[in-house]
Amino acid sequence: MPYSLIHNGTLIDGNGSNPLPNAAILIKDNQIIDVGKEDSISLPDKEIKKIDAHDMFILPGFIDTHVHIMANGFKMEDTMYNPLSLFFFRGVENMRRTIDAGVTSIRDAGLADRGVKMAVDEGLVVGPRMLISVMPLSISGGHFDHHLNSGFDMKISYPGLPESICDGKDEVRKRTREILRSGADFIKVMVTGGVMSVNDGPEHTQFTIEELKVMVQEGEFHDGVKVMAHGHGAEGIKNALKAGAYSIEHGTYLDSEAIQMMVEKKTYLIPTCVVIKHNKKLAEAGELPEYSREQAIEIVDIHDENIRKAYEAGVQIVMGTDCGVVPHGLNLEELGFLHDIGMSPEEAIMAGTKHAAECLKVDDKLGTIEKGKLADIIISKKDPIANIKSLGNPDNIVLVMKDGKIIKDLRT
């Protein structure tokens, strides 16, 4: 049955338009072919599967631009004691939790390789469509160098997964090319330390501008693959901006100069408020390693203040969560946190739909409910304009359609 009609709901299309009651969406196979008031839709003289929204709220499938779909907390003991196969089975569950939360597309920020992406594309497992960065690039002793002081390496590794560590322009060029050879859609680089690091802190600057320029150049040589830069400290962020990074992830210690540079360069900011907030809770409960607890608590207010300044200055902010460092399925809580820093509910929704699709350069087919787009659609039990934080509860996401196929359906 190639035709489906979603009807009897209020449409929030992702474009920032006023909600449209009594809306309907006509779908053929996996593509939206008409949208509007139900009585304005011309139905084909064919058998149609009707999907009743029961007066609920119809939105585009959301896009999380910063996820670690294969990770579950980066716990050292998992690497030490668990068989590698468990890593992949947990990944399958993570994908299911993500799509059940209403996220139909992701950009993975490290550890998902081409095979994980292929498994979803071929329908072997249920999960969001994904763009991948394969393996983040790190300096020796940097944020993705998992060697402990004892010399033990707690990283996850298996044949085909590239090495992360690189120092100096020649080694950086080689590692970047290996990442691209592995099928990376984006190049991920750690330009500062991190909260969960063993060997550094969030403000530690990592990589030189010259090294970062090599990554950007290699990406441009490879059909314009962009660089996404993990950055907490201001100096590392500014180095990334000077080198031509496309997006800044986290942005905790952004200063006025960095913010102005982002505005001028039209650089995307992915604040990952979810991980910042939840890490604080975990730290206060004693559930983070001792070396990261103090940092996890102290950066929350700093992050809030600087992300608010960036938003008010006009930096383009899109939704990303860092789920995988914290539990999967929390993704749409990010929208409520974006609302807290000043976004209207409509703006927050667009940060996770239209603008996220633009950031990932997939806005020709995803991000809004419009004629010609792919049928990635969710139905929310509650009105997200009246209560944007309601989307953060996966139980309120009663239907998820990806590529014209219903993945989750709680309507009955």
Burial label for 46, CB within 10 Å (0-12, 13-18, 19+), is exposed
Are both 239 and 285 inside the same structural domain? yes
Residue 1's pLDDT band, with cuts at 50, 70 and 90, is low
Are both 39 and 183 inside the same structural domain? no
Average pLDDT for 284-309: 87
Report the C-alpha gap between 138 and 302 in whole angstroms. 25
Are both 83 and 204 inside the same structural domain? yes
Is the pLDDT at 196 greater than 90, yes or no? no
Are both 67 and 56 inside the same structural domain? no
User: How many domains does the chain divide into?
Assistant: 2
Choosing from 306, 331, 356, the residue where a domain stops is 331
- Name the residue with tokens 């120092």: 167
Residue type, 157: S
Are both 146 and 281 inside the same structural domain? yes
The whole-chain average pLDDT of the chain stands at 94
pLDDT tens digits, 380-405: 999 999 999 999 999 999 999 999 99
Are both 77 and 54 inside the same structural domain? no
**Any domain includes 94:** yes
Report the C-alpha gap between 181 and 38 in whole angstroms. 48
pTM comes to: 0.96
**Any domain includes 17:** yes
**Any domain includes 340:** no
Are both 160 and 22 inside the same structural domain? no
Are both 144 and 120 inside the same structural domain? yes
Domain boundaries, position 201: 62-331
Choosing from 331, 353, 388, the residue where a domain stops is 331
**Any domain includes 44:** yes
Is the pLDDT at 294 greater than 90, yes or no? no
pLDDT tens digits, 331-365: 999 999 999 999 999 999 999 999 999 999 999 99
Catalytically active residues, by annotation:
188, 322
Are both 123 and 267 inside the same structural domain? yes
Positive or negative, the CA dihedral 348, 352, 357, 358 is positive
**Any domain includes 34:** yes
Are both 218 and 267 inside the same structural domain? yes
- Residue 172 β-bridge partners: none
Report the C-alpha gap between 191 and 213 in whole angstroms. 12
Which CATH number goes with the domain that contains 76?
Answer: 3.20.20.140
Are both 153 and 289 inside the same structural domain? yes
**Any domain includes 257:** yes
